[in-house]
């Protein structure tokens, strides 16, 4: 088995890499890598020496990308070509039969075409490939051997998020208190780009130190707080509590049924996933990151998901999807469908 190509960090890029693959969905890390490359290239080629082209992988042909790397720009001596959604650019049609070329040989796959295309030098361009999901393969080693880089842009682990909050505060020459970090994480969640946006606001309203009071004042509770209120009620197994929260959301808060339906479908999906994995012997807590479970919702959701019958959970997930769709197809009342679904889920969580 070939040795896995090493990955690097965004800030370790030097600007000399002809190809950079940004592996993972974390937008802040992707942005940091691109900014690092752009700064380095501007230092090499001067303030007007770099032209930037952005393309979506599902809206450009691979041949056009390779052509852009070798066609001198009329705007600047060097071109940085950024492909967003590289998975779409090099994906294979799984339903198509293997294409053949004259001589009875199989045609090259898009990944093979890209690998062969990158083997020819393109000294006046840099290629940045953004890919939320990048399948490792021979092309990784080819990119590294070429002098390129594979950049780790996966979301940080749960234990690393507080350190990232400290780093974001330091970037704005601020310090953040421990309780302020906890509150910020509860309100915003662990996505770095969202945390960075909130930190900009907090830094602008503080001089040196960010405390929990400032977070309380400036970082609004997101719609996820209302979502959690309904999910918390359902997980409690108390139908009266669920009915009361629905009343507060729909009648007092005058919210539409759409976010409430989303909340219940999301909960049903998580319970179904947890229950089937628990039956297979998988520790529910190991799935927290994948299911985006954090804060006060984590424990109750994992506990219920671990003990609910997998068949029941799967059926409730199907019912949740149908309950949202039925009123749109003229099958029943939307409010009544939502209330019925909420109570069904609540009773199932009660055991």
Domain boundaries, the chain: 10-152, 161-218, 223-350
State the pLDDT confidence band at 96, using cuts at 50, 70 and 90.
very low
| Residue 149 falls in which region: left (phi positive, over 0), alpha (psi -120 to 50) or beta | beta
What is the architecture of the domain spanning 10-152?
3-Layer(aba) Sandwich (3.40)
Encode pLDDT of 112-168 as tens digits.
999 999 988 899 999 999 998 898 888 999 999 999 999 999 888 878 899 999 999
User: Considering only the top CATH level, what class is 161-218?
Assistant: mainly alpha
Q: What is the pLDDT of residue 225?
A: 60
Average pLDDT over residues 245-264: 77
Total-model pTM: 0.62
| Range 223-350 has CATH code 1.20.272.10 | yes
Encode pLDDT of 38-51 as tens digits.
999 999 999 999 99
- φ, ψ of residue 55 to 5 degrees: the values are -135, 150
Tokens for 306? 């671990």
The C-alpha atoms of residue 129 and residue 127 are separated, in whole angstroms, by 6
Which of 45-49, 185-189, 300-304 has the largest mean confidence? 45-49
Average pLDDT over residues 6-23: 92
Smallest CA-to-CA distance from 24 within 139, 147, 130 is with 130
C-alpha distances (whole Å) from 115 to each of 140, 153, 289 are: 9, 22, 33
Environment class of residue 256 by beta-carbon count within 10 Å: exposed (0-12), middle (13-18) or buried (19+)? exposed
Average pLDDT over residues 201-216: 92
185 near 212, Cβ under 8 Å? no
C-alpha distances (whole Å) from 211 to each of 6, 7, 138, 164, 348 are: 39, 36, 49, 17, 41
> Is the confidence at residue 104, as pLDDT, over 70?
no
Average pLDDT over residues 25-34: 93
State the pLDDT confidence band at 95, using cuts at 50, 70 and 90.
very low
Average pLDDT over residues 210-226: 78
How many Cα neighbours within 13 Å face the side chain of 285?
Answer: 3
The C-alpha atoms of residue 342 and residue 282 are separated, in whole angstroms, by 27
The β-bridge partners of 125 are: 79
State the pLDDT confidence band at 194, using cuts at 50, 70 and 90.
confident
Check for a shared fold between 10-152 and 161-218: no
Strands 100-101 and 105-106: antiparallel
% the chain with pLDDT above 70: 89
State the pLDDT confidence band at 1, using cuts at 50, 70 and 90.
very low
Q: Answer positive or negative: Cα dihedral of 339, 345, 346, 351.
A: positive
């Amino acid at each position: 088995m070939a040795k896995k190509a090493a990955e690097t960090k965004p800030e370790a890029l030097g600007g000399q890499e002809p190809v950079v693959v940004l592996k993972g969905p974390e937008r802040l890390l992707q942005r940091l890598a691109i900014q690092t490359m752009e700064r380095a290239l501007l230092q090499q080629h001067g303030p007007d020496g770099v032209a930037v082209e952005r393309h979506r992988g599902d809206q450009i042909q691979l041949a056009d990308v390779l052509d852009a790397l070798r066609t001198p720009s009329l705007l600047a001596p060097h071109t940085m070509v950024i492909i967003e959604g590289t998975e779409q650019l090099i994906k294979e049609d799984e339903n198509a039969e293997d294409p053949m070329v004259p001589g009875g040989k199989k045609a090259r796959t898009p990944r093979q075409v890209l690998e062969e295309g990158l083997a020819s030098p393109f000294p006046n361009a840099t290629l940045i490939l953004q890919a939320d999901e990048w399948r490792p393969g021979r092309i990784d080693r080819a990119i590294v051997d070429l002098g390129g880089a594979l950049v780790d842009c996966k979301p940080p682990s749960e234990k690393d998020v507080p350190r990232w909050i400290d780093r974001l505060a330091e970037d704005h020459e601020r310090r953040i208190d421990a309780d302020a970090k906890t509150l910020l994480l509860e309100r915003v969640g662990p996505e770095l780009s969202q945390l960075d946006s909130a930190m900009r606001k907090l830094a602008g309203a503080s001089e040196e130190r960010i405390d929990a009071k400032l977070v309380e004042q400036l970082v609004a509770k997101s719609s996820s707080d209302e979502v959690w209120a309904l999910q918390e009620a359902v997980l409690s197994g108390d139908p009266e509590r669920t009915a009361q929260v629905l009343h507060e959301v729909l009648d007092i808060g005058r919210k539409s049924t759409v976010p409430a339906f989303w909340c219940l479908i999301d909960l049903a999906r998580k319970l179904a996933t947890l229950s089937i994995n628990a039956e297979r012997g998988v520790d529910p807590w190991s799935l927290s990151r994948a299911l985006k479970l954090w804060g006060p919702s984590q424990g109750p959701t994992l506990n219920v998901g671990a003990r609910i019958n997998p068949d029941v959970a799967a059926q409730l997930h199907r019912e949740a999807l149908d309950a949202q769709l039925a009123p749109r197809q003229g099958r029943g009342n939307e409010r009544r469908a939502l209330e019925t679904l909420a109570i069904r889920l609540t009773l199932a969580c009660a055991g």
